[in-house]
Structure 1
Amino acid sequence: MFEIEIDSNTPLNVFYDTLNSQLASLLGGERDLICNAAQFSAFVMQTLPELNWAGFYFARDKQLVLGPYVGKVACTRIPFGRGVCGAAAHSQQTQRVEDVHAFEGHIACDSASASEVVIPIVYEGDLIGVFDIDSPKVRRFSQADQEGLEALVTTFIESTDLEWSF
């Protein structure tokens, strides 16, 4: 069984470095996209406080299609450019939104969500999808959280076979 141990008083940069080491260990030896996406989603939900959703949307024909996640029932398809996930897919840039209710075009899959980070999954220049993290707390995610989460996504990409997914 994989145990996750993190001290909540640890500085954020050390916290995310520790998480990244644990994630690399968790995903080590497994290369399957669906398996690693499911494990990664559960890992994030289990290790980060104040979250209500963490998971993947995969790029298919200019829209995002729901993939492995942990949380309440979610939107099934999101067009590129629509909502926070669609904005991340369209721009291929991380979107960190302090208050999703102030984000023009926000899609409220879960009305409890108040802030969000969406990180594009890009492999060899192609958008594979996005990793979406929601919180019921406004301003939950700092710049340090964004950088730490982007490092976790990089570890996911490096640990996963993505060639066949697009």
Structure 2
Amino acid sequence: MFAATVIDTKDKPAFYKELATQLKALLEGEGDSVANAANTAALIYQMVPDLNWAGFYFLASDDELVLGPFQGKPACVRIAVGKGVCGKAIE
């Protein structure tokens, strides 16, 4: 069973390198993309300080994103491509 360890550093590159190492260990051997997205969101949400949301939107069609696994505050279920920060990012 995976157990996250506290990353005790103020050095951001070192922090994210260790987070990536822990994420790789967490996902190793699991092929289900939904399970992996859920565990990725959970690990990021738990480990990154002062974060209020971590998760995924998936491209459901050419013009719409749909909410995937996430941790944190409730989120919009659907976002039109080109609208808001997430919709603009996919353009």
Scaled by the length of structure 1, what TM-score is found?
0.52
> How far 1:4 sits from its partner (Å)?
1.9
Separation in 2, partners of 1:34, 1:69:
11
Amino acid at match of 2:39: Q
Separation in 2, partners of 1:25, 1:4:
10
> How far 1:2 sits from its partner (Å)?
2.3
Q: Find the residue that maps to 1:64 and give its secondary structure.
A: strand
* 8 Å contact from structure 2 (residues 2, 25) kept in 1: no
Q: Find the residue that maps to 1:16 and give its secondary structure.
A: helix
Identity %: 51
> How far 1:10 sits from its partner (Å)?
3.7
1:24 aligns with 24
Amino acid at match of 2:38: A
1:68 aligns with 69
Name which structure has the greater RCO, CA cutoff 8 Å, separation 6+. Answer: 1
Where do 4+ consecutive residues of structure 1 move more than 3 Å?
none
- 1:21-52 CA deviation, whole Å, 9 max, x = no partner? 11100000001110000000000001100111
Amino acid at match of 1:63: E
* 8 Å contact from structure 2 (residues 42, 70) kept in 1: yes
Q: Find the residue that maps to 1:25 and give its secondary structure.
A: helix
Amino acid at match of 1:67: G
2:4 aligns with 4
Separation in 1, partners of 2:4, 2:87:
32
Gaps of 5+ in 2: none
1:57 aligns with 57
Amino acid at match of 1:50: D
Gaps of 5+ in 1: 91-166
1:78 aligns with 79
Amino acid at match of 1:73: P
Q: Find the residue that maps to 2:71 and give its secondary structure.
A: strand
Separation in 2, partners of 1:53, 1:41:
9
Question: 1:1-150 residue pairs with structure 2 within 5 A?
Answer: 1-5=1-5, 6-7=7-8, 9-61=9-61, 62-90=63-91
* 8 Å contact from structure 2 (residues 65, 87) kept in 1: yes
